[in-house]
Structure 1
């Protein structure tokens, strides 16, 4: 009778375990497009816990009124949470996809293909500038800091704040926008609060052009100014402040007469009479003319008071 060799129990258990490992690896290969593949991808290699991708930026610059995106790349996150915190007031903005601030301009989302948790700040305001913390819920906490810089474009209408022209003259208003990272989608012009549309096209021309990498010029041209064209003109770019000027269309008046204000020079009482007396010097002796001038000036001063 032959003796059949048998494996020890320990060897048999090892064989079963090895078989299950091979089956599991085969299943991972078969379902490489599903959840199993995602799990294998996330935990590939020696798992040592979450860490920040060293290529993640630490500075973001955006323009006032636009949307800002602050990226935070966290590798091997596992079951940990990612929070965004505003450093100036230690306010928790988001935890994973949940928002914890009563400001719907803030939102966080995950781009799984790059393991990036991004904080979105819509319609950026000047006060949004500062440092933001991307924090992972390890023990102790891990943090990555990003500084948000907000560029505020400058806007002005070229020339004086009050413009004087004669009836029938051409008028060109230039709205200059500088320090602008993005070209505005549009520049609207308003005349006394009314947007200049089709009813103005017969007498005006409106255009916009990008002249440099950070400069845009909007132009309003009135071919033949009329008295009814007088008033306030405002250029209003998209997502930016506006600028205004006052246009005065004159019917032959001298502009200086309309510009006289409290800072204008006032005549000295009696001075016109003194000047008149001094004018006598052309036909009398200087000493006699000066005496008459002083007398006339003194009498005029008494009459005024």
Structure 2
């Protein structure tokens, strides 16, 4: 019996079987220590998968004298990428590193969109063991400029269609906002006229556009992969100039300075200037100073400062605005405002004296008549305010003293 056990082939096979069973029972077969983890990476970055296999060294594949090996496979295409540390596929961006113990790492440099898919770490045991993970390649958003609207012009009351297209993965979401934070106005929908601070979608339809909707619109594309991108689209609304005059009648004493103002709205940008009523154009010099202050994208405040007013400066002035669509003008009449006398008492000699008031901080503006003394009962044009305190008649006490002096002389 002993002789048969030592020399017989059946005994040797039995021993190998027992040893194989013992390896399995003791857990000495190759096994994965950690699961293979999914990877999400932005296009152009480097990705890696790490596979940790225990008990691989010395394990013989059934029916083969070679030890077990670790292989990397692209599961969706069934392409073998690498075996142990040797890259099989013709892809210079792939490499495999091994720490000489139990860890194999698949490195993919400069990930591209086509690298996306299922990757497998496989050990050629019998039966074969494997684990898989997914490589997700994300792409930051990018505006497709050839399919996106540029700056545009529409007449007031017309319509505008703003289009914004973007690419990326996941597909980007498009949000519209106004650069100045104003409302985006939608008309003609089931809810009628609506105002929103932001709007989603590739297309924004603006109907019956008004001048208040002029300005920059921002198309913002985002998909959760930084950075978000945007494009600025300028909407120009063209319309006939409009001139508004806050004060059509302006009064000031001679020898003082006065400022005339007009508010102008126009698009495209207008040429603005001042003339006298006879059509003579005014130019900036020591006498006149003209300035413009922008109030918005389409509105301007025109100012004309007239220094050291003389009687020759009195009369009509025009502020004129012209653009490619049309022109408009406003009229202002400048009149002389006479300063009232005021009394003052001289404590030394007790005499009363009359002195002229020269301290004029601002001109009187309103619908008053030009030049000369005013009738107290004169009606004011346009429902203007009553005369100011500076223009009220002298106090009754003053007239009483004057009457007494005249009676004494007589």
* Interval containing the TM-score (normalised by the shorter chain): 0.3 to 0.5
Would you tell me which structure has more strand in proportion to its own residues? 2
TM-score after normalising by structure 2: 0.29
Would you tell me which structure has more helix in proportion to its own residues? 1
